[in-house]
Structure 1
Amino acid sequence: MDRSAYALIATDLDGTLLRGDDTVSDRSRAALARVAEAGARHLVVTGRPAPRVRSLLEDLGCTGLAVCGQGAQLYDAGADRLLWSVTLDRELAEIALGKIEAEVGQVYAAVDQDGVDGLTLIEPGYLMPHPTLPAVRIDRRDDLWCAPISKVLLRHAELSDDELAATARAVVGSLATVTMSGPGTVELQPCGVTKATGLALAAARLGLSPWQTIAFGDMPNDIPMFDWAGRGVAMANAHPDLKAVADEVTTSNEDDGIAVVLERLFSASAVR
């Protein structure tokens, strides 16, 4: 396909652009540089909240927009400010947690606070899926609700992520949107908010359309983004549900799957 077909390159981070050690390979950096030289835009679309991507965006040289918090935040990296954000009503979040625990027993919860300096708070028993990310341990669940939040993260001692997410969707209803964004990461976010809503908002600000967008991801939370974009590319390590709706499956995040596709679309000889 002609490189001009895609003016917006939307990439998830964990399990997609990032390797397991939270780094971006030289090959992927070179491919993204070639994208920029061709006049296309790279947009990070991640479940991580804005404060947890600031250093990564700086490392990548990103000074424009980023979609964070599963679509709940539109972050301007250059200005270090949120252009748009949606919070999850804390009372509804508590009700949703109660409904889930009534079905599956105790779950362990964490929250991402709203804002560019929001903290990640974790209650006793919650294990961070990404131990390198900073978090503040609190003593009681009630302390999770001390400030506005963008989402709740859930873990269960015995259920798989798929089982926990399926149960949560069945009982939460319109209280929140349930997503699964990675191993050990089932989340509740504001109802109706997805990566697609955040991506659509960012694309509109950039004057770009779905058909000009190619999206890369690895987990079920990327499905709405794939539905919105003109083309969706799943990593080899992606969840089966995402592979089922992808237009293409590339190599894994450890094997530069994004670069493999971008080199093809934006002249491989120029980026090697």
Structure 2
Amino acid sequence: MAAPIAYAERTAYSLIATDLDGTLLRGDDTFSDRSLDALARVAAAGARHLVVTGRPAPRVRPLLDRLHSRGLAVCGQGAQLYDADADRLLWSVTLDRELAETALGKIEAEVGQLYAAVDQDGVDGLTLIEPGYRMPHPTLPALRVGRRDDLWCEPISKVLLRHPTLSDDELASTARSVVGSLATVTMSGPGTVELQPCGITKATGLALAAEHLGLRPEDTVAFGDMPNDIPMFDWAARGVAMANAHPELKAVADEVTTSNEDDGVAVVLERLFP
């Protein structure tokens, strides 16, 4: 990560990259008026706001509408660059389904039965869940299939994993130890350990979006709450963790703000864009 930049030297950035769940979104899947006002202040100053989220493009589209955002969004943990104006993917990387099955088998050989779900690729891709899988966000739509083999019927951007007894940290640690180069393992929220294409992170998607916008890492301040935001913090000039963030992210953040429920993003933006 770049060295912290003193506020006395710099008070604004040209690119504001925010995660959604646990960061800009409140627990009830809404944006506070204060957060919306802060983002309007950012826009008035000529800076860009970019959503960088683990949610796939179809699950981000209605949230972008609420944000009145019609530009780019980084979705699927960096595997998708979505153009909301055109409702199309400018770029996407899929996870090889045979590799995904092999990775699942390796993890289950270590920890026992897992429950899996997948996000299909594309702007109309579905979230499919196998028997026994519980969605960590009950408000998100998902289609239950009859057996695991049905998960692989169409190209996918990632696999979501749950274990009946292991914690997210334990599951993610074991998965990383056995998956190797088959996939990238991330932890993006409570009950959300994921497999995505090898080498793909939020940073790869953010870098591609910034290139499209003509902006650079040194122009960027990033906000997040989970370990999947670490690559984004490493890429950006400044990383701001929420008070509710995972300890791994707080350890590498330049600053810790208040929680997502207490408008932590807005607290910082109001200071950066007075």
Fold shared by both chains (TM-score > 0.5): yes
CA–CA distance in structure 2, aligned partners of residues 135 and 204 of structure 1: 33
2:163 equivalent in structure 1? 156
In percent, how many aligned pairs have the same letter?
86
Partner of 1:237: 244
Structure 1 alignment gaps of length 5 or more: 268-272
Counterpart amino acid of residue 45 in structure 1: V
Offset from partner CA, 1:119-161 (integer Å, 9 cap, x none): 0000000000000000000000000000000000000000000
The one-letter code matched in structure 2 to 1:10 is A
Q: Deviations over 1:195-247 (max 9, x none)?
A: 00000000000000001000000000000000000000000000000000000
**Aligned partners of 2:196 and 2:143: how far apart in 1?**
20
1:5 Cα offset (Å): 4.0
SS in structure 2 at match of 1:53 = helix
Q: Residues of 2 paired with 1:11 and 1:242: CA distance?
A: 14
Give yes or no for contact 2:202–2:229 (8 Å, CA) kept in 1: yes
The number of residue pairs the alignment matches comes to 267
- Matches of residues 249-264 of structure 1 in structure 2 within 5 Å? 249-264=256-271
Q: Deviations over 1:64-94 (max 9, x none)?
A: 0000000000000111000000000000000
Counterpart of 2:255, as a letter, is E
**1:53 CA drift (Å):** 0.7
Give, as a single letter, the amino acid of the residue that structure 2 aligns with 1:129: P
Structure 1 stretch displaced more, 2-11 or 77-86: 2-11
Distance 1:59 1:234 in 2: 23
What is the Cα deviation at residue 30 of structure 1?
A: 0.2
Alignment deviations for residues 5-34 of structure 1 (CA, whole Å, 9 cap, x no partner):
410000000000000000000000000000
In structure 2, the residue matched to 1:129 is 136
TM normalised by structure 1 equals 0.97
RMSD: 0.8
Contact 2:225 2:246 in 1 (8 A): yes
The 5-angstrom pairing of residues 93-112 of structure 1 reads 93-112=100-119
Establish whether residue 219 from structure 1 lines up as the match of residue 226 from structure 2: yes
Partner deviation per Cα, 1:160-186 (whole Å, 9 max, x = no partner): 000000000000000000000000000
Q: Is the 8 A contact 1:232 1:246 kept in 2?
A: yes
Which residue number in structure 2 is paired with residue 228 of structure 1? 235
Question: Is the contact between residue 3 and residue 266 of structure 1 (CA under 8 Å) also seen in structure 2?
Answer: no
**What is the alpha-carbon distance in structure 2 between the residues aligned to residue 131 and residue 235 of structure 1?**
23
Distance 2:264 2:249 in 1: 15
Unaligned runs of 5+ in 2: 1-6
| SS of residue in 1 equivalent to 2:89 | strand
Secondary structure at the counterpart of residue 92 of structure 1: helix
Match of 1:21 among 11, 16, 28: 28
| SS at structure 1 position matched to 2:154 | coil
- Are the structure 2 counterparts of residues 159 and 192 from structure 1 closer, same or farther at C-alpha, using a change threshold of 3 Å? same
Is 1:44 paired with 2:51?
A: yes
Q: CA deviation at 1:3?
A: 6.3
**Alpha-carbon spacing, 1:40–1:4, altered in 2? closer, same or farther (3 Å):** farther
Aligned equivalents of 1:43 and 1:4: distance in 2? 19
Aligned mates of 1:180, 1:32 — CA distance in 2 = 27
Structure 2 distance, partners of 1:259, 1:92, is 41
- Structure 1 partner of 2:177: 170
How far, CA to CA, are the matches of 1:129 and 1:140 in structure 2? 20
CA distance in 1, matches of 2:111, 2:52: 31
Which one-letter code corresponds to 2:233 in the other structure?
Answer: F
